[in-house]
Structure 1
Amino acid sequence: MPFAGHAQNPIIQTIYTADPAPMVYNDTVYLYTGHDEDGSNWFTMKNWHVYSTTDMVNWTDHGSPLSLKTFKWAKKDAWAGQCIERNGKFYWYVATFHKKDKNSNGGAAIGVAVSDRPTGPFKDAIGKALITNEMTTDMKYGWDDIDPTVFIDDDGQAYLFWGNGSCKWIKLKDNMIEADGPIHTFKPKHYIEGPWVYKRKGLYYLVYAGAGTKPEMIEYCTAKSPEGPWTYRGIIEGNVENSFTTHPGIIDYHGKTYFFYHNGALPTGGSYRRSICVDYMYYNQDGTIKKVIQTKKGVEPVK
């Protein structure tokens, strides 16, 4: 929805979208999103959506190739996720809530779907949850196993990070659907939820929704290894318009860094009817991140 040569924020205005997870593949940006239902007064979410662009201004809607119905073991809530490519397959890790059955007594869980194409259709990769609430015991409530982010290091080792209240991580096997070792937990400063992990110029970044000076803001840590230790670096995004949550997604594309987030800025929006935005993000020479400036006009077209 361009105007005056820019992408207007929010970038998707046909439905409510939340929890952005961008991915660059074959010189195209794919954006994986959650979907707040119309008129919602809670995080009422039943499916996930995919969009794509090659100019960062005009977005193609690929519909909903993944929903709660994809996971037979899921009970409710299609919450945040992230998709990544490996060996020609696309693995989409998502947060949802588990039915009470022989594998779990309920609570938040992480599933993984797989497809041969970035736009789907996706199917349940293992027929059960990858992470259930019973696997983590450091937080004594049922919604701590949410918001998965996945990262593949230069040596091919894959990592899955997630968590509310504490940040948790595991190594993944090469097949991307099995844990390769124990679950680790730690608590970055001000950490709430929504981690996003990536590497730039030999430095690892852990970006997340945090308490800041008033929750939620986007804060970050850096490390020399994806296994830590992590050093807190500060706030990079303040509170967003008309939503008490925000959620980061970061990519490099055509020589620029793009910072995705959500707010409640649509005329009928709010904290439970959110919309995804994107603005530029810049680094200092030492690798620290400058504070993101939120705009309404958005980014310029890729040249």
Structure 2
Amino acid sequence: MGLGNSKVARPSPEGSLDYTTSEAGNPFVEGWYSEPGSATYDGLFWVYAVRTGDVEAQTCIDAFSTSDLIHWDKHPSVLTPTNWVKKGIRSPTPISRNGKYYIYFSTIYTHEDDTDTGGGIGVAMADKPQGPYVDAIGKPIISENHNGAQPSDPDVFIDNADGQAYMYYGGRSHANVVTLNEDMISIRTFDEGTKFKEITPKGYVGGSRILKRNGIYYFMWSEHHCNNPDYSVSYAMANNLLGPFNPIAKILQPDGAVTKRVGRSSMIHVPNTDIWYILYHRQPLSETDKHHCIIAYDRIYFNEDNTIRPICMLVKDNFADGRMLDWTTYGGQWSVEEQRLTVQNAGSGMAMLDTNFSDLVFDATIATTSGNGHPGLLFRVTELSAETRKYKGYKAAISPTGVITLGKADLGIFTDLAQTKMDMVTGEEYHVRVVAIGSEIKVYVNDMDKARITFIDNSFTTGANGVRVFNSAAKFGFVSVARPS
């Protein structure tokens, strides 16, 4: 039997980097981070991010590198406070020129006094992407407000048309652009005699980002304050890198099924392709500390007219990185083995994702490796007790004897809603899919064209997703949770 004609979404061949999201799960690195910036150096993708916390905690930048966007190496503390920076390092932006590597960053405090000075943009330099980065000029490259723009959130871009380097930055609802000299650590004057040109689009708050594709300049920015639930990313398009940048749409905003807040984006571009990813930070649904953010990436898709489709934050984990970063376990002995989420036979156990889907399509492979239990998928789960492992929600399960069950749990009381049978073999993987739209729930096994179970029940309408075992050992793979198309 096995997977049969199952349509499990397998990762693309190694090297193509043609993914729909971080296929091995978001967050793609461990830890609380925010405001990621990215660059590609000599075939490696680099992400530089700030450890989250209050301003006293924001004292360094960590880096992560990868060749495949799946397996990431950590490079801690590549940039630490310089002689003029006291605390509040944020918004790292990496770029390379003339054999040197630069990180531009902003800070809200200096050694001169302990008051909020309105910010300052610094630049540090290194001989290698992993640093260490050393303050290049011993002071901010910009330390005062110009055109009302706070010196913060820099993004540096070298135009391939003429080799000129530009820095976009801003805060307090104003955005500027400046040109950099060839040394990358000093500002040159525009032909008309000014150094600072205002380019503020409507709705701009901060988080300037610029990219160029097909001769078009895309300017992106954050709207609303980072603690606002409407914190989001918008964009504009222009034929000129100085604008005007007239807003087109929001492309990244909170999704109540996945996250509370999103923002501070940058882009990952796979060289010599039209594959782009948006890199950003977001706050998990269960986190109440505003500083608890993770970094994630999702695919950017362009329309035929070069506009950008709204970003869909997908939930996937194929365990290709050997980790289970976004999973919380309740009972059982869980690990990742050979690209599968594996649990030993130790009574009951659950592994849960921090999601809150109502209508959904939930896919995974399931293999029972020992025992007579019934491993399965949990969905619309609420009121989960870490101590008793009781919960409210649905379970779609399969057993090694071939029984397919849809049931519901109500804090310890489990009710079978529907059952059917098919031939199964212990140890083989089966593709299980749950499609729940409103009160209609369908369960598929291997054949995605014909539901094995269709049942109407409106006991639970929304909740978390996960996997569960009972009196069995099992393996789960290629997990995906999404809204119905």
Residue aligned with 1:7, SS: coil
Query: Which of 295, 310, 315 pairs up with 1:296?
Result: 315
**By percentage of residues, which structure has more strand?**
2
Distance in 1 between residues matched to 2:202 and 2:74, nearest whole Å: 37
1:219 aligns with 2:248: no
Query: What is the DSSP-based 3-state SS (H/G/I as helix, E as strand, rest coil) of the residue aligned with 1:31?
Result: strand
2:141 counterpart residue number: 130
Counterparts of residues 146-161 of structure 1 (less than 5 Å): 146-154=152-160, 155-161=162-168
Other-structure match for 1:177: 185
- Contact 2:208 / 2:221 at 8 angstroms: preserved in 1? yes
* Maintained 8 Å contact 1:280/1:299: no
TM-aligned CA deviation for residue 170 of structure 1:
0.4
Q: So what's the TM-score if we normalise by structure 1?
A: 0.86
Aligned counterpart, 1:261: 280
Question: Is it true that 1:228 corresponds to 2:224 in the alignment?
Answer: no
- The one-letter code of the counterpart of 1:138 is G
Identity of aligned residues (%): 29
Bigger RCO (CA 8 Å, 6+ sep): 1
TM value normalised by structure 2: 0.55
Instruction: Write the mapping of 1:5-154 to structure 2, written as runs, cut at 5 A.
Output: 6-13=23-30, 15-37=31-53, 44-68=57-81, 71-99=82-110, 101=112, 106-132=117-143, 134-136=144-146, 138=148, 144-154=150-160
Query: Which amino acid in 2 is paired with 1:162?
Result: Y
Q: Shift of the alpha carbon at 1:231?
A: 2.6
Between the aligned partners of 1:43 and 1:223, the Cα distance in structure 2 is: 39
1:228 Cα deviation (Å)?
1.3
Q: Give the greater-gyration-radius structure (CA).
A: 2
Q: Could you say what secondary structure the match of 1:226 adopts?
A: coil
Shift of 1:251: 2.1
Indicate how the Cα distance of structure 1 residues 266 and 52 shifts in structure 2: closer, same or farther if over 3 A, else same.
Answer: farther
Structure 2: distance between partners of 1:73 and 1:298: 43
In the alignment, is the contact (CA less than 8 A) between 1:56 and 1:299 conserved in 2?
A: no
Which deviations, in whole Å up to 9, do the C-alpha atoms of 1:15-44 show, x marking residues without a partner?
A: 21111111111111000111114xx5x784
SS at match of 1:278: strand
Does structure 2 conserve the Cα–Cα contact (< 8 Å) formed by 1:23 and 1:251? yes
Alignment length (residue pairs):
286
C-alpha displacement at 1:202, in angstroms? Answer: 0.4
Query: Bigger CA drift: 224-233 or 146-155?
Result: 224-233
Partner Cα separation in structure 2 for residue 105 and residue 272 of structure 1 = 20
Q: Which amino acid aligns with 1:26?
A: D
Q: Deviations over 1:146-180 (max 9, x none)?
A: 11100000111000011111111101001100001
Structure 2 segments unaligned to the other structure (5+ residues): 1-9, 12-22, 190-194, 321-485
Alpha carbons 2:100, 2:126 under 8 Å: kept: yes
Q: Distance in 2 between matches of 1:252 and 1:299?
A: 22
- Rounded to whole Å, the distance in 2 between the matches of 1:300 and 1:53 is 16
> Compared with structure 1, are the counterparts of its residues 82 and 158 closer, same or farther at alpha carbon in structure 2 (3 Å cutoff)?
same
Q: 1:298 to 1:118 in 2, by over 3 A?
A: farther
- What is the alpha-carbon distance in structure 2 between the residues aligned to residue 269 and residue 112 of structure 1? 33
User: Structure 2 counterpart of 1:284, which letter?
Assistant: N
Task: Determine if contact 2:34/2:281 at 8 Å carries over to the other structure.
Answer: yes
